[in-house]
Structure 1
Amino acid sequence: MNAIDYLREEIKSYFPESSELQLSGDFAQHRRFNFYFKIKDDYSYLLYLNWDGEYDQFILKCLEFVNEEILEKLIAAYPETGAKTFNLGQPCLTVSFIYRGENKLSVLDFKGPVDAEIHSREISGIKLMQCVDPELHKD
């Protein structure tokens, strides 16, 4: 299993209502480095996974939108307009990491509420998902 497939499976496992957004037309024919995941219906958060394209370095962000109605409109536009659609989202939780194997993720940087376990620098897939889970980090 490659890194992208592993991370997709981790997202789907941790967020069972999630779905990966798919591009259409010419966009779908190009190699992708950005992946977006709707976490669940009627929710103002979206997951964004960025791959550097060569190495196994990634950024996983939870983007927050003003409300779920705006996000639903953007999701509907995404297949035809691509990644620029989500520029309105504000990153609220971000983890950059290197994939070293299943459940072997080396954290490079973390932005969000402080979590002591992150300082170990090597985390599992489930811990990565907890880092970007907006439900765990609400005020």
Structure 2
Amino acid sequence: MNALTHFRKEIKAYFPESSELILSESFATHPRFNFYFEIKPGERFLLYLNSDGDDLGYTLKCLEFRDSDVLKRLINSYPTIGSKAFNIGQPRTRISFIYRAENRISVTQTGGDIHDDFNWHEISASHLLQGLDPLIKN
């Protein structure tokens, strides 16, 4: 299993109510390096997973929107207009990392509202997701 497939499954496991957003068929011929996840219906947060294209380096961001209604409208427009639908989202948390193997992720850079104070040098995907989870209260 490649890193993107594994990490997308980890997101779905950590956020069981999440759903990956799907583009329309008109985008099917474009290379896809960005993946968006609604983490829970009715919330104002969206996860954005970006691959640098070499299947090693990734960035995971949590975007925050003014309210859940705004996000819902943007999600509904995403299939036809693509990622530019989410340009008004404010970055809440950013974690850049290298995927070494299953449960061996090396964080290279962080920013924003990171939870927990732990060793970021080699962690599991679920630990990384816990670090940026916007639904955890500080």
Structure 2 match to 1:22 = 22
Give % identity.
53
> Any residues of structure 2 matched to 1:1-139 within 5 Å, and which?
1-113=1-113, 115-117=116-118, 119-136=119-136, 138=137
Partner Cα separation in structure 2 for residue 113 and residue 23 of structure 1? 29
Describe the SS at the equivalent of 2:69.
Answer: helix
Change (3 A) 1:27 1:121: same
TM-score (norm 1): 0.93
Alignment RMSD: 1.3
Partner Cα separation in structure 1 for residue 122 and residue 130 of structure 2? 14
Q: Alpha-carbon deviation of 1:110?
A: 1.1
Contact kept in structure 2, 1:23 and 1:78, CA below 8 Å:
yes
Q: Which has the higher helix share?
A: 1
TM-score (norm 2): 0.94
Question: Aligned residue pairs: how many?
Answer: 137
Q: Alpha-carbon deviation of 1:39?
A: 0.6
Q: Point out the more displaced range, 13-22 or 120-129.
A: 120-129
Contact kept in structure 2, 1:22 and 1:28, CA below 8 Å:
no
Q: Which amino acid aligns with 2:24?
A: S
Post-superposition Cα deviations, 1:35-70, rounded to whole Å, max 9, x if no partner, equal 000111111000000000124100001100000000
Q: Alpha-carbon deviation of 1:135?
A: 1.5
Q: Which amino acid aligns with 2:117?
A: A
Contact kept in structure 1, 2:4 and 2:55, CA below 8 Å:
no
Q: Which amino acid aligns with 1:60?
A: L
Q: Alpha-carbon deviation of 1:113?
A: 3.6
Partner Cα separation in structure 2 for residue 61 and residue 113 of structure 1? 11
Provide runs of 4+ in structure 1 moved above 6 Å: none
Q: Unaligned regions of 5+ residues in structure 1, if any?
A: none
